[in-house]
Structure 1
Amino acid sequence: MIVDTRAAPPIRRRLRRVGTVLSWLAVGPVAAWATVRLAGLDRGPLVQALAFTPYAAGWSVLALAAALALRRWWPAAVAAVAAVTLLGLVVPRALPAPQPAAAGPTLRLLTANLLAGAADARTLVDLVRTRQVDVLTVQEFTPDAQAALDRLGLDRLLPYRNLNAQVGTPGSGLYSRWPISDAGIRTNRRGWGFTQAYGTVTVPGAPPVRVESAHPSAPYALDQVGAWRADLTAQPPATGDGELRILAGDFNATLDHSPLRALLRTGYVDAADATGAGLTGTWGPYDGDLIPPVTIDHVLVDSRIAVGSVRVHDLPGSDHRPVLATLTLPAR
């Protein structure tokens, strides 16, 4: 039998072209993602996409492996740069950071989004009781939720409060074991968005702490991105050497969104990030939606406050998971 070997080189060339195309198809998106994230280009539809940056970091490793397996060196080089960039941004969230030498009392703070009051009140009260929570911030807080929580004994566990229960999603609340002063309600989006209850909590043995239940707008549609950015920009900055501040709630933003990073640069620390729990999902599939978990609920603390631990708990009836932070305050 006679074999025509003249056909072999064209076939090999076509296979190489296919391999090159496949390599770039795998590498191109992660390279673009790394560029957008590094440059802080969260605009328009990119805002929602950037919430899933940890998943893109994982994909970048697979893209690099594919390019190396296909021996496509230029795509592999680009993939390597993208992988190093994305992993360098994401992996530190899984590593604990040094804490300040705070020597004051312990503060256990829990924050929970109640999904327009649909969250299971008994589970939340049980969390407050068993975890010995000192301060609770709630979002999407309704009159029915307030009544249910009090029937289950929250008013006895956390007797001090500043509440703004509203039908639907705007409501907010702040509960405390200790007295609250200078309390008020902030309304986002120029007076008609989510509300944020705040107040100064007096913890025995520590300086006063300003605590606020944070709930900026959600960028759920393109015409909401401007309000989302404005709400995050309007959050109260940390005060440096002034009053201690804690912002805790549903920020509708991850650490891959530039407005939240700008807020952190004023002097806050993300409690989960500081303890190596920064990749634990808090929103997504918890009410049955097929959405990969992302981390949009945060406890931001003054950099003078030490973070001991962060735990995320289940809350039936809500699409969010409560975040419990154990903190050590500076001594008075």
Structure 2
Amino acid sequence: MDRAPAPAAPVTSTSTNTPSPEKPDEPPLRHRHRLTAWAAGLLLVVPALISGCRIFDTDGVTPVPQLLSLLPWLAVPAGLGVLLAAAARRRVLAFTAVVVLAATGWSSLPYMPQLVISNGLPLARVRVLAANVEFSQATGTLIEAVRRERPQLVFVSECDRACGRALTTAFAAELPHHASVDADGSVGSVLLSAYPLTDERVIPAAMGMPGATAEIAGVPVRLQLAHPLPPMPGQVGPWKRELGRIEAAAARPDPGPLLIAGDFNASQDHAAFRAILDAGYLQDAARLADASRTPTWPMEGPLPPFVQIDHVLVSRDFSVRGIRFLDLVGSDHRAVLADLDLRGER
């Protein structure tokens, strides 16, 4: 008797697809926008502070004087702040960032008008060289530059006794007159002149700032070498006081031609420097030659030069024919070479 076939065992299907581990959740879009907004705000802090101090005509306290030297370059973080604020979709922040960028750009415009009408006909052509030889290390290079360029007036900062002797000896015939502060290190300074010098004076300062009156084409011209302390942390007060003494020397009761040159340790973005221009009705020769943003410092070290702190300032008795900036091997400053015309009545 045939047996019935046994029922087939139920077939159970086993799935081979195992669930994949879940991917970590990406940060919510709102969280990313918040981080972007914070980054934009941080980028805007320094440009806002420094451009505000420039607009309100104050040098403030450390670190404001130091950061004012970087004012034009602060447009970079301000511009990045605008982009990040827009990416974060924060309208108020984006508007604030645009305002800060505009304020930074406006504050970086050259100070004072460029077109100045000088009175009178040209009386004499005067070439002026202002140089900081950095503890006399660039003395030899400066001697070569003077021989090559043949200036009639040379203002030399950080020129010690040996430097002063080398310069006066080398140019005993071409620049026989001089006024100086004979000292060691950065204190020494010398003013060499092809014109007779009288009425020598020294502005009291930590570093030498001699001055004198030169007779040029029969006109007495007041000359002053400038070399105040740098605005290092802890000496911003003395820096302001010494710039104030230069300002007082510029504000003379007797009007007449005035020329102040040297290492001012200040740029056009510092209120204390602008006060000197205003007190003596002076113009920066670099501004008149459309070169007021040409950096002169630092010429040594890891950073490229980023600020102009070496200047030739002239009263309206002078017109500027041209200006050049010379590299001096051994110095952390560029020298300033200005070609001027002294004007007046014949």
Question: Smaller-chain TM-score range?
Answer: 0.7 to 0.9
- 1:203 is the counterpart of 2:216: yes
- CA offsets, 1:24-73, max 9 Å, x none? 22223322222222222421322112111121134323332343354433
- CA distance in 2 between counterparts of 1:162 and 1:306 reads 25
Map 1:103-252; keep pairs closer than 5 Å.
103-104=121-122, 105-121=124-140, 123-150=141-168, 153-188=170-205, 193-204=206-217, 207-222=219-234, 224-235=235-246, 236-239=249-252, 242-252=255-265
RMSD, matched Cα = 2.5
Structure 1 residues 308 and 65: CA distance shift in structure 2, 3 A? farther
Question: Is the partner of 1:157 in helix, strand or coil?
Answer: coil
Question: Is the partner of 2:312 in helix, strand or coil?
Answer: strand
Map 1:88-107; keep pairs closer than 5 Å.
88-92=106-110, 97-102=114-119, 103-104=121-122, 105-107=124-126
Question: Is the partner of 2:185 in helix, strand or coil?
Answer: coil
From 288, 299, 304, the equivalent of 1:274 is: 288
Aligned to 1:16: 33
Structure whose residues are more often helix by fraction: 1
- CA offsets, 1:154-185, max 9 Å, x none? 22221111122311111111111111111233
From 281, 286, 297, the equivalent of 1:283 is: 297
- Identical positions, percent: 32
TM-score norm. by structure 1 comes to: 0.87
AA partner of residue 187 (structure 2): P
- CA offsets, 1:122-174, max 9 Å, x none? x21232232231100111111111233345x3222211111223111111111
Aligned to 1:30: 47
- 1:59 is the counterpart of 2:77: yes
Question: Is the partner of 2:232 in helix, strand or coil?
Answer: coil
From 315, 318, 332, the equivalent of 1:302 is: 315
Aligned to 1:86: 104
Preserved contact between residue 63 and residue 79 of structure 1 (Cα < 8 Å): yes
- CA distance in 1 between counterparts of 2:184 and 2:78 reads 44
**Structure number with larger C-alpha Rg:** 2
Aligned to 2:16: none
- CA distance in 2 between counterparts of 1:150 and 1:263 reads 30
Structure 1 residues 271 and 62: CA distance shift in structure 2, 3 A? farther
Preserved contact between residue 30 and residue 79 of structure 1 (Cα < 8 Å): no
Question: Is the partner of 2:314 in helix, strand or coil?
Answer: strand
Preserved contact between residue 199 and residue 212 of structure 2 (Cα < 8 Å): yes
- CA distance in 1 between counterparts of 2:245 and 2:211 reads 14
Q: Which runs of 5+ in 2 are unaligned?
A: 1-18
Q: Give, in angstroms, the shift of residue 239 of structure 1.
A: 4.1
Preserved contact between residue 164 and residue 190 of structure 2 (Cα < 8 Å): no
Structure 1 residues 14 and 69: CA distance shift in structure 2, 3 A? closer
Preserved contact between residue 36 and residue 84 of structure 2 (Cα < 8 Å): no
Preserved contact between residue 306 and residue 327 of structure 1 (Cα < 8 Å): yes
- CA distance in 1 between counterparts of 2:125 and 2:94 reads 49
- CA distance in 1 between counterparts of 2:144 and 2:209 reads 24
268-277 or 238-247: bigger deviation: 238-247
Aligned length: 318
